[in-house]
Amino acid sequence: MLPITELLLSTWWLILPIIALVFLYLHRPNEEKTQPRKIRRGVDRSLTYPRQYPCGWYRICNSDDVSRRGQIRRAFAFGREMVVFRSDDEYNQVHVLEAFCIHMGANLGVGGRVMPGTNCIQCPFHLWEFNGQNGRCTKIPYIDGKIPDKAKMHSYPCVERHGMVMIWYHPLNEPPQYDAICVDELLGDKYEFRGNYSYPNIQMHLQEFAENAADVQHFRPLHGQMLIPWTKIRVPLVYVHHTASLVFSDQTHIAYFYDTAMIQLFGKRYESTKVDASITFYGPGGITLFRFDGEFGRIYLFHTHTPTNYTELDVEFRAYVERKIPRFLNWYVIGNWIAQWQRDIDVWENKIHKRAPFLVKNDGPILKMRRWFSQFYLSNEEQDNIVDTLDW
């Protein structure tokens, strides 16, 4: 492998102009910075998409959001309001329940409290208490005798890994069909956390992100030109060559997307700028893991999507980087990826879902990806059996 210094020297003629352009971008007039992002209004695009939230694991918040024992946080996902809290017992675990009390509908996330020394949360209205692990009511202060078995809040299976609180979502409340993501390589000291980047209220359906990996023909028009990291500004005459592929794992809930990208200038590709990216779908895309490998080392980037509505996502990136990599380089690599991702957003937020797209040869395995993705939806028969306990 080339040392970092040699890599920087071999690409100085690309990096210095980029730095200059970033400086100009950050110091452009305030009027341009504050321009609102325009979203086209007209056709209700959401009606063209599946009216389901795919079954799977999703990030509901970060560990830092409930870092203290007994801390409570409100959350909203899948059209539902939830309460997230950390227990005050020796286990120090995070729990997630539906927000509205089964008794009279008070919101446990507003005025509720975690009972000292327990994993129970108390409703502020009538002081009923609920176990965070299974949602069962453990105390009604003004009755004697047994608490009814049906006095139970809906609880979400929950794990805390890599600084994220992840919950399992299934509209029939079935238990997890596979484990949440865990990257053993990140459990040691070789990597360090280097930031998270949040993009709330992205107006798109989760299925679009999965189909994007199969749509090989969009790379050249949308991602074929170099951008200044973290911006939409194109670098003139500097292009990016992509070699992409899609592989479905024997584990049915996993799919892999591979992309080798390198800078191309005047028709010549520069191997010293090559970055191999692998993207692992753990389920429908609520949690995806990007791995960037190059001469500089390895970067992991969690790319998470939490649906708040059918065509609205809260997106967050979380970066874990080899300690030996200079911060400038991880800023450069991650910033390039997010800049290119924002190019996709311009399309996703304005397109409709074509149930029967007019595809031609070499479009890529789009229909195969749709068949793979369909496993995370309920069948029509299963949908008929839904009894939503959230009667609000």
Question: What is the residue-wise DSSP string for 268-300?
Answer: EE-GGG-EEEEEEEETTTTEEEEEEEETTEEEE
Residue boundaries of the structural domains of the chain:
56-169, 186-375
* pLDDT higher than threshold 70 for residue 7: no
Identify the top-confidence range among 48-57, 263-272, 289-298.
48-57
Beta strands in 21-163 (DSSP E): 56-62, 72-77, 80-86, 94-98, 113-114, 120-122, 129-131, 137-139, 158-161
Instruction: Work out the angle between the directed axes of helices 206-214 and 366-373 (0-180°, nearest 10).
Output: 140
* pLDDT higher than threshold 70 for residue 390: no
* pLDDT higher than threshold 60 for residue 40: no
Sign of the four-CA dihedral 35, 77, 254, 289: positive
User: What is the arithmetic mean of pLDDT over 258-281?
Assistant: 87
pLDDT for position 72: 98
Domain 186-375 belongs in CATH node 3.90.380.10: yes
Q: Which top CATH class is 56-169?
A: mainly beta
* pLDDT higher than threshold 50 for residue 265: yes
pLDDT category at 15 given cuts 50, 70, 90 is low
* pLDDT higher than threshold 50 for residue 389: no
pLDDT category at 360 given cuts 50, 70, 90 is very high
* pLDDT higher than threshold 60 for residue 32: no
The number of CA neighbours under 13 Å toward the Cβ of 288 is: 24
pLDDT for position 392: 41
Percent of the chain with pLDDT over 90: 73
Q: What is the pTM (predicted TM-score) of this model?
A: 0.87
pLDDT category at 21 given cuts 50, 70, 90 is low
